[in-house]
Amino acid sequence: MALCKLTRLLPAGATIYINPAHVIAVDTSNGHTVIVTTGTGKSGPEHFAVMETLDHAAEALDLAALE
């Protein structure tokens, strides 16, 4: 399984590892990059605000998907 290491906005500076196969969108909201992943059960999609720029996060996810 490929994982992409990103930095969460909250809690500030916490590391998050995201499986790029589960990402359905990379967007910005309120000036922050948001990763949207598939949800499980009734929870629906999960949203993770990260500190990386939109372009950097998308590139990092693309590179991880190639591994």
Scan for tokens 């629906």, then name that residue: 44
Confidence (pLDDT) at 1: 79
| Nearest CA-CA partner of 58 in 22, 38, 33 | 33
Beta partners for 27? 34
Confidence (pLDDT) at 41: 64
What's at 67, amino acid-wise? E
Instruction: Report yes or no on whether pTM surpasses 0.75.
Output: yes
Confidence (pLDDT) at 32: 95
Tell me the pLDDT tens digit for each residue of 2-47: 999 999 999 999 999 999 999 999 999 999 999 999 977 677 889 9
